[in-house]
């Protein structure tokens, strides 16, 4: 939404004293803060539409069945109740965020004017309002088939279901999603990431772990078969998971399954920070997986004791993930998206906190004195490497972040809270 031009001499001369001090401190370690700011602003972050309405969707009447372990908890007033309210909320969010943004849509946010359109029959026309909105704001859209919250997902199985008729329904939905994603890309002139995640799994100790995975391979192969889809426009991704509500013991689409499937089929692998054991480091995985996967999709989320999709904060997991991406100079090989839902707090505030934390982590990765650290390590100066790493933790990166916000013409610090408070009083309160 916001374009970042090259900095003029006038712009750099008007920097704040705090930023000037920070810029000089980083320069001593060989870090160019000007380059870091510009690159951090250019990296797209895909906002997830489902925070605005607590993952309820806009379908009537075919969907709306709770299933798939998707649950937003809380009852803060002001939930968006229709597409127009969602888009109005997102307009405010976009005005408060620095850098390039996109929007991530799930298929059950189709708008059908009250007419029942089941998911295997969805067409691009059902998302025309979203496309027009994105086109007017000059942002890209991403997409997700919705393999949950539907009567045919009530058993906990979709693409791996034992019933061929159920599988065929979801295969048709997956195919429809690819056509929609390709249409979105053509309309907006930007590739559309189409991410496939299914809830399939068992609550307790299944007797057959082989059959569902074999059926899942067959179903996905049927979805991704040719059929006139340009993969440069529709960028298909697949997302694994360790466990979830109703699938605590067994998840059909595990990390091992999807890593192998994506690599063998030329798809993008999605890594969600909440889809692993609490002691696993997703940051450590990227340098291993990206030796074999040309690109990955990253979902920033925050699990709390389980995959509970809390609002993203600038915690160690998020910081470490983007630090590793920066150290591998791999930002052009990743797609960045948010995935959380919290109905207990102001939803717009949740968006801004999570999106800003994600971009802050990106900036921090770009501010890392990687060249200096690698030189010390290669020279066998382990003490110097550790000393510079520790020094990096104390550098005034906050002043660089404030400068980034200033140049993007968005509120610095916590100044954005006033905008959210005004909107809650004037708009959200009327929805209660």
Catalytic residues: 197, 239, 241, 272, 275, 299, 307, 309, 339
Interhelix angle for 370-378 vs 382-394, to 10°?
160
Contact 57, 14 (CB under 8 A): no
Cis previous bond, 61, omega within 30: yes
Q: At a CB cut-off of 8 Å and minimum separation 6, what does 11 contact?
A: 407
- Please report which helix (H) or strand (E) contains residue 186, including its range: helix 164-188
- Please report which helix (H) or strand (E) contains residue 234, including its range: strand 234-239
For the four alpha carbons of 267, 268, 273 and 274, in that order, the dihedral sign comes to negative
Contact 367, 400 (CB under 8 A): yes
Closest CA to 358 of 404, 314, 295, 308: 314
Contact 188, 46 (CB under 8 A): no
Contact 64, 32 (CB under 8 A): no
- CA–CA distance, 1 with 45 (Å, rounded to integer): 11
Alpha helices in 3-82 (DSSP H): 9-13, 17-27, 33-42
- CA–CA distance, 386 with 14 (Å, rounded to integer): 35
Alpha helices in 294-346 (DSSP H): 316-327
* Tokens representing residue 199 in the block: 């809830």
- CA–CA distance, 105 with 107 (Å, rounded to integer): 6
Whose structure tokens read 């890594």?
271
């Amino acid at each position: 939404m916001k374009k970042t031009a090259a900095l003029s001499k006038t712009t750099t001369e008007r920097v704040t004293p705090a930023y000037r001090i920070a810029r000089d401190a980083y320069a001593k370690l060989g870090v160019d803060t000007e380059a870091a700011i510009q690159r951090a602003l250019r990296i797209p972050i895909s906002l997830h539409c489902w925070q605005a309405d607590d993952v309820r969707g806009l379908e009537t009447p075919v969907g709306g069945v709770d299933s798939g372990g998707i649950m937003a908890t809380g009852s803060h007033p002001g939930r968006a109740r229709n597409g127009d309210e969602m888009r109005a909320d997102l307009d405010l969010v976009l005005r408060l965020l620095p850098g390039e943004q996109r929007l991530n849509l799930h298929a059950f946010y189709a708008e059908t004017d009250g007419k029942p359109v089941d998911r295997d029959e969805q067409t691009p026309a059902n998302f025309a309002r979203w496309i027009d909105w994105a086109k007017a704001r000059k942002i890209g859209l991403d997409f997700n088939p919705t393999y949950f919250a539907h009567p045919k997902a009530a058993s906990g199985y979709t693409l791996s279901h034992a019933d061929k008729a159920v599988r065929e329904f979801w295969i048709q939905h997956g195919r429809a999603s690819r056509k929609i994603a390709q249409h979105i890309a053509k309309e907006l002139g930007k590739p559309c990431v189409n991410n496939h995640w299914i809830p399939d799994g068992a609550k307790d100790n299944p007797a057959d772990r082989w059959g569902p995975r074999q059926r899942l391979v067959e179903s996905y192969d049927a979805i991704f078969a040719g059929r006139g889809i340009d993969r440069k426009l529709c960028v298909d991704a697949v997302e694994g998971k360790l466990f979830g509500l109703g699938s605590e013991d067994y998840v059909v689409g595990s990390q091992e399954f999807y890593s192998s499937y994506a690599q063998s089929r030329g798809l993008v692998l999605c890594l969600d920070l909440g889809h692993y054991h609490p002691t696993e480091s997703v940051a450590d995985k990227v340098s291993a997986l990206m030796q074999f996967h040309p690109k990955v999709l990253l979902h920033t989320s925050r699990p709390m004791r389980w995959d509970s999709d809390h609002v993203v904060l600038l915690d160690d997991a998020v910081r470490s993930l983007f630090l590793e991406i920066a150290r591998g100079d791999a930002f052009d090989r990743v797609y960045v998206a948010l995935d959380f839902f919290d109905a207990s707090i102001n939803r717009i505030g949740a968006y801004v906190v999570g999106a800003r934390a994600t971009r802050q982590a990106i900036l921090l990765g770009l501010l890392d004195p990687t060249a200096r650290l690698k030189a010390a390590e290669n020279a066998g100066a382990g003490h110097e490497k550790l000393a510079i790493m520790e020094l990096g933790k104390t550098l005034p990166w906050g002043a660089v972040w404030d400068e980034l916000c200033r140049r993007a013409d968005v509120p610095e610090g916590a100044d954005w809270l006033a905008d959210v408070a005004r909107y809650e009083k004037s708009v959200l309160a009327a929805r209660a």
